[in-house]
Amino acid sequence: MKQALLFFCTLLVSQVFAANGDTTTIRAFDKFHMNRYGNFDKRVGFPSSDKKSQRIWLRLTLGCLSNGQCEWDYTLKVAIRENTGKKDSTLKQAPSFRVNGNIQDSLLYSSDTTWINSFNSTTKKTDSVPAAKYTIIRYLNTLTPTTPTDTIIGWAANFYRYTFDSTGKKIDSTFIASNSKITKVNTPYYDVFDVINTWEMARLITPYAKFFPKTFQYQYIFDVTDFMPYLHDSADVRITYEGYTYGFTSTIDFHFIEGITNREPIRLEKVYSGYFPYGNPNNSIENYLTLKTFKIDSNIAESKLRIMVTGHGGEQNENCAEFCKKNYYLKINNNTPITQSVWRDNCGSNPIINQGGTWIYDRSNWCPGELIKPFEYTLTAKANDSLKIELDMDDFTANGSAGYGYEAYLVYYKPNQRAMDAGIEEIMAPTNNFWHSKYNPACDHGRVRIKNFGKETINYVRFKFKAGNAPVQTGEFFTTLLPNESVEAPLYYINWQGDLSNKTFEVWIDAVNWKPDTYTDNNTLKSTFNITQTIPLRFVVETRTNQRPTDNDYSITDTEGRVKFSKVFTQPNTTHYDTVTLGYGCYTFKFNDKGGNGLSFWNPPVEGAGYVRFMNAYEFGLLKTFTADFGNFTQFNFTTGSPVGQNELSSFKPSFNIYPQPASEMIHLQIEHIYPVSIELIDLHGRLAKSYSADEIARQQLPIRGIQQGIYLLQLKGTKGELLVKKVVIE
């Protein structure tokens, strides 16, 4: 099973939510099956408005039913619905009658029962049944034109009633005439309704998870503190699922961190909201992204513009808007426009690797399986100011369907209560957080993301940190961090020599701008971690190139970033054996693919497949394998130990895993500490169903298309005579 699916994405609350107050958790949806395209609303009880929170986090856990498809990359949104307490109305027309629930302009009918004849081929006689019956509801009170005032029963009329001879031939007819007529009269009225604002708090794209084990869970964390004015008492939470295949589920939890926020949001105001066509010469997107003017209330101290946008559609000119790189131009109060690229250029770095679709292709501000982050702009507009916002996009003429989904909001705040306040938002290393799994486990430096919650610029932060039960260490970070901005900060030279039975990493802020921080509730964060694998001082990197070897290179660097070994490739379909000898220490192996499609990807298949793995230099044994469909890069942090002896070798236990279960088209392997010389698929009667080539084994992908469904045994033989067997179900 691939690395991305070896564990649930279960994150410690202390690891994710950077605040130390008491936490109240509200579950809005529990493994809710999104079984159709559209909206799903649920009334949710939140803490009362007088209970203050310093932060509010939304955690969405995406899963799949045991029999689900969970196949495609679909847009998934979460919104809060605000009842404004206001009323609005729409001018409508009320008809003076309805026939069987339907509106008609007029109706000719009979007030008495009418009959229709038909020929009975069994009795050779003419049978009669009543004609169609009409239930006519009348609305004659013009003061309440939607309230029924009368009900009339009528029957179909103005048709011929036939008689038949014994052969079924029509021999006579009678015209059944109507004796009543009713004509529609419309009465205008105003339909009054509550004004509901729908505020989108979170957006993500589901992964191509068709071939994943159905037990997968991915957790997405969103800071929804800006929506605090609507997350209290009770409100409707809405899931919008823009998908068609069966099986995805959502669990949605809100985490309210008790305390006082640095700048309390007062309310939101919509700037743009909707899905707008792009490139249509008859309906330009500029018709929707028009100049907007806002008047800032007298109680507003700060404001922010929050823009959530993703591009979709597949027109024929540039494959817009999903796969075309375009810009928007934001002009605020007629100032020089801010240019923003609506594009993600790192989809191949997604930790959800080896997806079943085009997961590596860069897209219009989204990647399959990842959350979408909004673009945010701190505004200088203050109380009583006039604020003008205008948004334009690159000129473009489409040949087909293309569009952008926009949700742009103004967020208004009370005055910031803190002059100096730095907070730790996230630990990137060391951590078991799945979204940083491509860089972990770590054995060299730590990395954290900090944010400036105060009004003053931060130039210096001093950290304290420790791994496990090791002594406390000190780290310094120099920066220029403006209010409301965040940045990654390195923590150099973590002490890994202490007692690591307690696999908890703790970091806290000790000083800001050479002084104690004025607010400490967001200064400390913890994470759990795994220890890096230890390999011999001498080992072999075995690489099999595919048809595009020049896309690939790798390096091995030490904790100082110095390159200890590197390799570039020029020959296609060639196996390379590079013996590497290192000293004691911590190292990083990074294998790059400039094409962004790893060593094996299904499209285009002409590129072939390669692999890379670490082998024992002293005897024929496997130390580490890498999934070939890794996108932009794969990374392995490791430590080196004593020269290989029997005790060291005995710690490497041969094993292999397979997925999915059941399988229908392909069996994927993960092989550890065994070098396979053959793999065979055996039925329960001991008959050989299929044997696999060395190339298929190296790719760790075994095709099973065309094999009859049933239960089989997958038998793996190693170079030392090892025999490992796994049961597999084929359907």
pLDDT at residue 15, rounded to an integer: 52
pLDDT above 70 (res 9):
no
Please give the torsion angle defined by the CA atoms of residues 352, 353, 358 and 361, in that order, rounded to the nearest 10 degrees. Answer: 80
Rounded mean pLDDT of 608-632?
A: 88
Q: CA 397, 398, 403: angle at the middle one, nearest 5?
A: 110
- Bridge partners (DSSP) of residue 474 are 464
pLDDT above 50 (res 644):
no
Cα separation, 364 vs 321, in Å, equals 7
pLDDT above 90 (res 90):
no
More confident residue, 225 or 693: 225
pLDDT at residue 501, rounded to an integer: 83
Confidence class for position 180, pLDDT limits 50, 70, 90 = very high
Confidence class for position 275, pLDDT limits 50, 70, 90 = very high
pLDDT above 80 (res 472):
yes
Identity of the residue numbered 245 = T
pLDDT above 80 (res 76):
yes
Which burial class, exposed, middle or buried, applies to 385 when counting CB atoms under 10 A from its CB (0-12, 13-18, 19+)?
middle
Rounded mean pLDDT of 654-669?
A: 81
Confidence class for position 209, pLDDT limits 50, 70, 90 = very high
pLDDT at residue 10, rounded to an integer: 37
**Could you give all domains of the chain from N- to C-terminal order, each with its CATH number?**
1-83+197-261 (2.60.120.230), 97-184 (no CATH), 264-412 (2.60.120.230), 422-527 (2.60.40.10), 533-650 (2.60.40), 655-730 (2.60.40.3080)
Instruction: Determine which helix (DSSP H) or strand (DSSP E) holds 15, and give its type and residue range.
Output: helix 13-16
Rounded mean pLDDT of 568-586?
A: 93
Please give the torsion angle defined by the CA atoms of residues 74, 80, 425 and 75, in that order, rounded to the nearest 10 degrees. Answer: 10
Do residues 594 and 548 make contact, with C-beta atoms less than 8 angstroms apart? Answer: no
User: How many CB atoms lie under 10 A from the CB of residue 432?
Assistant: 21
Rounded mean pLDDT of 648-656?
A: 59
What tokens appear for 140 in the block? 């004659």
pLDDT above 50 (res 3):
no
Most trustworthy range by pLDDT among 167-171, 369-373, 616-620, 672-676: 369-373
Cα separation, 701 vs 667, in Å, equals 6
| Residue whose C-alpha is closest to residue 195's, from 271, 273, 272, 87 | 87
- Bridge partners (DSSP) of residue 15 are none
Do residues 678 and 691 make contact, with C-beta atoms less than 8 angstroms apart? Answer: yes
List CB contacts of 185: < 8 A, sequence separation 6 or more.
95, 96
Round the average pLDDT of the chain to a whole number and report it: 90
pLDDT at residue 11, rounded to an integer: 39
Q: Is the pTM of this model over 0.85?
A: no
Q: Which pLDDT tens digit goes with each residue over 142-174?
A: 999 999 999 999 999 999 999 999 999 999 999
Q: Which pLDDT tens digit goes with each residue over 399-408?
A: 989 999 999 9
Secondary structure class of 683 (helix, strand, coil): strand
Cα separation, 447 vs 429, in Å, equals 5
Do residues 71 and 210 make contact, with C-beta atoms less than 8 angstroms apart? Answer: yes
Confidence class for position 608, pLDDT limits 50, 70, 90 = confident
What tokens appear for 161 in the block? 């009633």
Rounded mean pLDDT of 105-128?
A: 93
Identity of the residue numbered 77 = K
Rounded mean pLDDT of 236-262?
A: 95
Question: Minimum mean pLDDT among 12-21, 487-496, 681-690: which range?
Answer: 12-21
pLDDT above 50 (res 2):
no
- Report CA 416 to chain centroid distance, whole Å: 32
Sheet holding 666-672, edge to edge: 655-659, 666-672, 701-703
Instruction: Determine which helix (DSSP H) or strand (DSSP E) holds 495, and give its type and residue range.
Output: none
Secondary structure class of 674 (helix, strand, coil): coil
pLDDT at residue 17, rounded to an integer: 59
What tokens appear for 321 in the block? 């808007």
Rounded mean pLDDT of 416-431?
A: 94
Cα separation, 549 vs 423, in Å, equals 45
What tokens appear for 228 in the block? 């605090």
Which burial class, exposed, middle or buried, applies to 380 when counting CB atoms under 10 A from its CB (0-12, 13-18, 19+)?
exposed
Cα separation, 729 vs 667, in Å, equals 10
Q: Which pLDDT tens digit goes with each residue over 345-390?
A: 999 999 999 999 999 999 999 999 999 999 999 998 778 889 999 9
